[in-house]
Structure 1
């Protein structure tokens, strides 16, 4: 069983189950939770439903980009320190918090797109409605994206580009992969 996020392709060529939808030949998760390949379903483990997890300063979060503008990206936080949250929290990544270097050259639209899944660090509890996040480290940034043109899943090719299997490339602020050792 694997942790999955909304919009993530979880299977192919099989009937979909609870917490998933079928798009063409793909089964896509509609919620954050644990994917059971035998049932093709995504469910919350009981432990997650009963546990209230709140982001704190220093927490690593996974979030889906919901909207962008020239000054910031707004995200919905669904995983805090490797624990799924039952409720989503809103977060904001300001343009100056996207990269550690060349901050004056950063453009939000070249770093994130709505629907991207981002690994970020909580730097402030924010303004009462949103947590303030940063991706200004090599291990932080976009970890999962679909092409806005072709709809295909994209893979990082360097620190600022992602590419589909068919070769279409888009700009993103990519997170350096974390390899289990």
Structure 2
């Protein structure tokens, strides 16, 4: 079996040489051509050829659920590096933005390094905008921002460090601390 890469419209073979399968169309000149981007596979024994499409890039869209890490924080906004889109790992390195409304102080909700779950509300001017309004959304994993130790949930808005006893505010997801939410994505 021979393999090569093709773009749509590339000549792959003639109809006399091979039978066209998935990702192939027959052109009027007797040529078999690629109908998609992908790897061309020639089966020399059964005399067929096909183009296996490349795995499409996972792109977040409105109403998708994303999991990511807070990597930048201001008083009223935060940037999130997206790692999972609808529980599927994304290697595309998208960033999302959350902008607090009114008197909301984002630095009271999150800290750099927090792992969060959010919902995509829009994509405007190249920016992915997210919300944390539902109880299902918010911080799903964090560490103490003073000593880096493990923390436990005190209530819906506070965590306490088990090592230094520091208490800090967070917008916690309902299932905070349940790491199965993270590991099932892998």
TM-score by length of 2: 0.62
Q: CA deviation at 1:127?
A: 2.1
Partner of 1:95: 100
Cα deviations by residue, 1:14-61 (Å, 9 ceiling, x for unpaired): xxxxxxxxxxxxxxxxxxxxxxxxxxxxxxxxxxx9452111100110
* 1:72 to 2:77 alignment: yes
Whole-angstrom distance in 1 between the partners of 2:169 and 2:69: 17
Which 5+ residue runs of structure 1 have no aligned equivalent?
Answer: 1-48, 97-103
Partner of 1:29: none
What is the DSSP-based 3-state SS (H/G/I as helix, E as strand, rest coil) of the residue aligned with 2:92? strand
Partner of 2:111: 113
* 1:163 to 2:160 alignment: yes
Q: CA deviation at 1:147?
A: 1.2
Whole-angstrom distance in 2 between the partners of 1:155 and 1:119: 18
Whole-angstrom distance in 2 between the partners of 1:157 and 1:62: 23
Which 5+ residue runs of structure 2 have no aligned equivalent?
Answer: 1-53, 181-186
**Larger C-alpha radius of gyration, 1 or 2?**
2
Q: Is the 8 A contact 2:76 2:107 kept in 1?
A: no
Q: Which portions of structure 1, spanning 4 or more consecutive aligned residues, are displaced by more than 6 angstroms?
A: none
* 1:53 to 2:58 alignment: yes
Match of 2:137 among 140, 143, 151: 140
What is the DSSP-based 3-state SS (H/G/I as helix, E as strand, rest coil) of the residue aligned with 2:72? strand
Q: CA deviation at 1:155?
A: 2.9
Partner of 1:30: none
* 1:154 to 2:159 alignment: no
Cα RMSD, aligned residues only: 2.0
Match of 2:68 among 45, 60, 63: 63
